[in-house]
Amino acid sequence: MGPLDGVLVADFSRVLAGPYATMLLGDLGATVVKVEPPQGDDTRHWGPPWTADGESTYYQSINRNKSSLVLDLRDAAEHELARRLAARADVLIENFRSGTMDRLGLGYDAVRADNPGIVYCSITGFGSAGGAGMPGYDLVVQAVSGLISLTGTDDEHLSKTGIATADVLTGLHSALGIVAALRHRDRTGVGQRIEANLLSSMLSGLVNFGGAWTLAGEVGRAMGIKHPGIAPYEPFPTADRPLVIAAGNDNLFRRLCDCLGLADLPDDPRFASNGSRVTHRDELAGLLEPVLARESADTWFAKLTTAGVPCGPINDVAQGMQLADSLGLEPVVDVHGSAQVAHPLRFSDTPVAYRAAPPGLDADAEALRAWLSEEPS
């Protein structure tokens, strides 16, 4: 049994942040009922790419270990089934605009009246106060949070991150908050409401760049794949493709130089400390690049890793999966015929379980409707 075995999650969320959170909970043993509108979760229609069966790979990637129930919440009979589900659930998660669930009669106060122990998680784009009316889209949050200003080669060539970073972080924060609230409920018997929003999660995820502003008033800027406070901590060209080197302290820098045949470099005053290396970053790169260009990225990866220097070639997704597989991390699992990226955690006593592939729309309607129509025992 998983660590969340016996926990029932009523999942009224859609797209990414909420479904990612509930998939993680489902992997850990929770029973997740995914409530969808008649047209289904938006991501069912997002593609290409599609699977061989014509399903959206986007939807498939974040919805395993769930059952699907279509409910039109504007219909009185359907609404009653939703209310019954919320009354029986341990957790309810939703990501409508602020106030929507209240208007539907499924807001926190209404659900808590029937179910005092409910852990109720609301995900919005910008919170329930001044940003209540603002729709939450990852691209917009990346822009307004400052993330895009830090991403790209320079101020004139900015970029969003390749994945929906704000959504993923918010999903992780939501799952953590839910588990914490369940722990509190175990001790007290009392549920509570959790409010998560994309902007706050993204600001938290700025970590050192956020701290640079709050603590020192310093505003970061885009530097490509370079680090503002560490050198060398960036990609370098090799004989075939770029290699990232992350020599984050003096000892690692010395190991790097020894491996490259540049053993005198750490004694040069320009490179004797991390601060001086950052100041003379371009001069340092000019000395490292000719040596690194003599061998392939994979050759240097093997040599430098053996020497204990953090590094790695810039892989594509397939190469990243292959690396994880070669390290015994088992990154891909077969979930009833659906190839899924594995859950990232390993538990010694309560292992992750892959009980069900992502469900078809309304696939579990008959059993769920019959269960919800029964009076609770």
Active site residues: 167
* 227 secondary structure, DSSP code: -
**Cα 334 to Cα 337: distance, rounded to the nearest angstrom:** 6
8 Å CB contact between 221 and 150: yes
Sort 192 into a burial class: Cβ within 10 Å, 0-12 / 13-18 / 19+. middle
Any idea which residue has 């077969």 for tokens? 334
Sort 359 into a burial class: Cβ within 10 Å, 0-12 / 13-18 / 19+. buried
**Cα 12 to Cα 94: distance, rounded to the nearest angstrom:** 5
**Cα 31 to Cα 5: distance, rounded to the nearest angstrom:** 7
**Cα 169 to Cα 172: distance, rounded to the nearest angstrom:** 5
Query: What residues contact residue 168 under an 8 Å CB cut-off, 6+ apart?
Result: 16, 17, 20
The string of DSSP letters for 113-131 reads HH-TT-EEEEEESSTTTTT
**Cα 65 to Cα 62: distance, rounded to the nearest angstrom:** 9
Closest C-alpha among 361, 341, 377 to residue 62: 341
Sort 46 into a burial class: Cβ within 10 Å, 0-12 / 13-18 / 19+. middle
The string of DSSP letters for 314-365 reads ---HHHHHHHHHHTT---EEEETTEEEEPPS---SSS------PPPPTTTTH
**Cα 18 to Cα 279: distance, rounded to the nearest angstrom:** 43
